[in-house]
Amino acid sequence: MDNIIHGLRAALFVIVFIFFQIELFFPSLLVEMVLNVLSILLFLTAIIRISKFNFGLSSMFILLTIIICISQDIRWSEVIEGFSNMNRLVLFIGLIPLISMPIHDKVPHIQRIIRMVKVKINSVIICISTTFVLANFINLASLPISNSIFCTDDIKKEEQFSFAVLIVRSFGLAMLCTPIGAAVAVAIDMTNASLIYVLLINLLITLIGLYISYRLERPSNTESADLEKQASFNLTDTKFMVYLFVPFVLYFAILFISNSRFSIGMMESIIVSILPVTLIWSLAIRKVKKWWKFLKNQIVRKVPHLFDQFSVIISAGVVIYVLELVELNHMLISLLQGGESPNSGVFYIPATILFILLLSVMGVHQFVTVVFIGELIDPVALGISPTVFACVLLVGFVSAMIASSFSGANILANSLLPFKSSHDFAKRSYRFTILFVIIASIILVIINYFIRGF
């Protein structure tokens, strides 16, 4: 039964992906209708055999949609379009792991180089910087790689835990400024902010966050003697690093140009380009068969397991669509004070970050909260610049990811270090999160004041 459900989910995902691209470049009423029906089927398969919590959350969103539709006399034919409201996010989450495929079999070489550098430079600094750099390129896959390098059995368990906490924080902070991060793409699309300005502001906040993390978590690890102490960084290693990361840099450049010159959103750009880019890259390194095998494994085996998360995202998208349909978002804004005053950001910037953080700690996925706030709130009406608001959403997202027991990063860290629970990881970062939110809020309030004040 599970195999049938997984096969159906994989097939629907592929079909939705095809029709999404057709609708993007050749929009028509027929294609839109087909996509809406496919999106409903996607949701129906998503709510089968999922966790009780996500089933309850999805049911709550659908029930809320029904209540709004009945009270506001909305036709059900209009609501159907809401099911395809989050297709781009669903496709993005399902496809983005493909970006790591060309370097997937290079992990041992990367680990060897990092261990070699670790001998000469402080392990804590190397741990933070390595995870941060890897996360910018391969996202969540950076956690197990860094964990295998720094959380070794030859150090005490408490020191392993300290390194693991640093790894989770560095990964989270990388999500503030990676162009291929889902959160960045969502924030840019919802606010129509400039990608380059958002990343520049977030880079400043990220560097401060990395420094805070370093000061709070400094394992007293002593390096063990091994063969890599006699190893040296040679020309072959240099060429390897260049060949490894130059394609990523070129891809980032393509995304920057696409975001500034074309009308399609950031997520759409990545969804459309990720298959051809990784295929061309695989052709260049003669790994086409591995690319196909990786793609097939991602769609057939991994994507079906993501439907637990998709159920909440799709149902949340329906609620957001209905709320916008009846213009309840405008009613919400009218109840909030702000307007043209640049000083209103002093309250709404930290309040938004804390709201995202609070809901995530309670169990609501940070993606859902960010999308809700980003879609329903007009930042200008609250006296916040769209660029700053995108940064606010991302700071809230990252803070929630680091400090929530329910976040995927902490759950994965728990699976890599079983003697500590996801709650232990979240709890260890409470002090970091408080300091980070305070400092990030101050920076964003100041930047917003200068943008809005002039």
In a domain, 342, yes or no: no
Residue type, 317: G
pLDDT at 191: 92
Taking a C-beta distance cutoff of 8 angstroms, is the pair 55, 11 a contact?
Answer: no
Check pLDDT > 70 for residue 128: yes
Q: What is the mean pLDDT of the chain?
A: 85
Neighbours of 238 (CB within 10 A): 11
H helices of 139-234, in order, are: 142-150, 157-174, 182-191, 195-216
In a domain, 25, yes or no: yes
Domain count, the chain: 1
In a domain, 24, yes or no: yes
Q: Tell me the pTM.
A: 0.82
Taking a C-beta distance cutoff of 8 angstroms, is the pair 210, 132 a contact?
Answer: yes
In a domain, 192, yes or no: no
Check pLDDT > 90 for residue 397: yes
Q: What is the CA angle 227-233-236, rounded to 5?
A: 115
Q: How distant, in Å, are the alpha carbons of 57, 358, 374 from that of 64?
A: 11, 21, 19
65-107 confidence digits (pLDDT tens) = 999 888 888 888 788 888 998 888 899 888 888 887 777 667 6
pLDDT at 156: 85
Taking a C-beta distance cutoff of 8 angstroms, is the pair 19, 35 a contact?
Answer: yes
In a domain, 336, yes or no: no
204-246 confidence digits (pLDDT tens) = 999 999 999 999 876 554 444 444 444 555 667 677 777 777 8
DSSP-based three-state secondary structure for 224: coil
Check pLDDT > 50 for residue 159: yes
pLDDT bucket at 353, cuts 50 / 70 / 90? very high
Residue 78 belongs to domain spanning: 1-84+287-325
In a domain, 291, yes or no: yes
CA distance 54 to 344: 35
Taking a C-beta distance cutoff of 8 angstroms, is the pair 68, 326 a contact?
Answer: yes
Token pair 């940064």 is found at 391
In a domain, 292, yes or no: yes
In a domain, 302, yes or no: yes
Neighbours of 147 (CB within 10 A): 22
pLDDT at 266: 78
User: Residue 197 corresponds to which tokens in the numbers above?
Assistant: 């300005």
Q: Higher-confidence residue: 52 or 426? A: 426
Average pLDDT over residues 431-447: 97
**Going along 55-148, which residue ranges are E strands?**
none
DSSP-based three-state secondary structure for 266: helix
Q: How distant, in Å, are the alpha carbons of 88, 185, 408 from that of 59?
A: 22, 27, 22
Check pLDDT > 70 for residue 170: yes
- CA 292 distance to own-chain centroid: 25
H helix count then E strand count, the chain: 22, 0
Taking a C-beta distance cutoff of 8 angstroms, is the pair 65, 318 a contact?
Answer: yes
